């Protein structure tokens, strides 16, 4: 059964559940279209390819137009493609086989309380030194080394091997890496809007493409006890209050 769906990150907010403030990220999921199906006899494995988003047809390369010819619309094509592997022949929730052109919606994969993992590309932070990039402690602050507080220190290894080893942690471009955050819980699902609220931060910029994978089913009652394994991301406050099934917008007035 399919447990993966594609989407994009939206803005962050916060919920108040049982007197505790919980940061949430709004994630737009689907609808996704099945663009191709991999066969174990022909390709060596079972898989389906999902497409998400819209891109103008004039911006699609000719090889991709041929690949997507069965599901192309008049003026648009899927923007983001990702493959989902299966151990056996891929089937839908009702037991029928997937076909090219089938639509996958968020309500087919996710419900409130489910535990998921989200993969995306982290924000780019530009050129950074070793203290910020790799958390080096820097050199001593005394004994005449006033200019070495954020320096990397020695990088070589003496006569042998007489060079800087490959993979040495040094200053360089930081961010724009694929990151995964595990054990996030679904706070709310909005099937009519193809939108979900996920507890905690999600990697990437607003509008960045993400892959959501369902890990297991869960209950919303234990959401205040779940600890997310955060790899990267920072909350952006936007106050909201939840009472049962009703969502009420709460505007906060800054202190004078």
Domains of the chain: residue spans and CATH: 1-29+108-138+170-251 (2.40.30.10), 32-104 (3.30.160.810)
Kindly tell me the sign of the dihedral angle through the C-alpha atoms of 202, 115, 227, 192: positive
Which stretches of the chain drop beneath a pLDDT of 50?
226-254, 256
CA-closest candidate to residue 140, choices 129, 128, 153: 153
pLDDT for res 226: 46
pLDDT for res 222: 58
Cβ neighbours for 234, distance < 8 A, ≥ 6 positions apart = 201
3-state secondary structure of 18: coil
Q: 64: part of which helix (H) or strand (E)?
A: helix 62-67
* Beta-carbon count within 10 A of 110 CB: 23
d(CA 225, CA 242): 17
pTM here is 0.78
pLDDT for res 224: 53
d(CA 86, CA 102): 17
pLDDT for res 37: 93
Q: Exposed, middle or buried, 29 (CB in 10 Å: 0-12/13-18/19+)?
A: buried
pLDDT for res 139: 87
pLDDT for res 195: 93
Cβ(9)–Cβ(27) below 8 Å: yes
Question: Which residue carries 């619309």 as its tokens?
Answer: 73
Q: How far apart are the first and last CA of the chain?
A: 54
Supply φ then ψ for residue 148, to 5 degrees.
-120, 15
d(CA 35, CA 85): 14
d(CA 230, CA 80): 24
């Amino acid at each position: 059964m399919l447990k993966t769906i594609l989407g994009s990150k939206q803005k962050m907010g916060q919920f108040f559940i049982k007197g505790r403030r919980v940061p949430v990220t709004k994630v737009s999921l689907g609808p996704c279209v099945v663009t191709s199906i991999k066969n174990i006899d022909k390709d060596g494995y079972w898989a389906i390819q999902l497409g998400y988003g819209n891109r103008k047809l004039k911006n699609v390369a000719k090889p991709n137009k041929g690949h997507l010819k069965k599901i192309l619309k008049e003026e648009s094509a899927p923007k983001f493609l990702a493959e989902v592997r299966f151990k056996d022949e891929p089937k839908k929730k009702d037991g029928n086989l997937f076909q090219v052109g089938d639509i996958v919606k968020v309500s087919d994969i996710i419900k409130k309380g489910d535990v998921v993992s989200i993969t995306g590309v982290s924000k780019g932070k530009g050129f950074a030194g070793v203290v910020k990039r790799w958390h080096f402690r820097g050199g001593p602050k005394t004994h005449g080394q006033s200019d070495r507080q954020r320096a990397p220190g020695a990088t070589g290894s003496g006569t042998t091997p007489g060079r800087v080893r490959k993979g040495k942690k040094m200053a360089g471009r930081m961010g724009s890496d694929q990151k995964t955050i595990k054990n996030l819980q679904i706070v709310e699902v909005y099937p009519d809007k193809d939108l979900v609220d996920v507890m905690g931060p999600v990697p990437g910029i607003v509008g960045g493409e993400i892959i959501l994978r369902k890990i297991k089913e869960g209950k919303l009652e234990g959401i205040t006890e779940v600890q997310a394994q955060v790899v990267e991301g920072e909350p952006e406050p936007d106050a909201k209050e939840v009472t049962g099934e009703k969502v009420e917008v709460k505007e906060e007035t800054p202190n004078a």
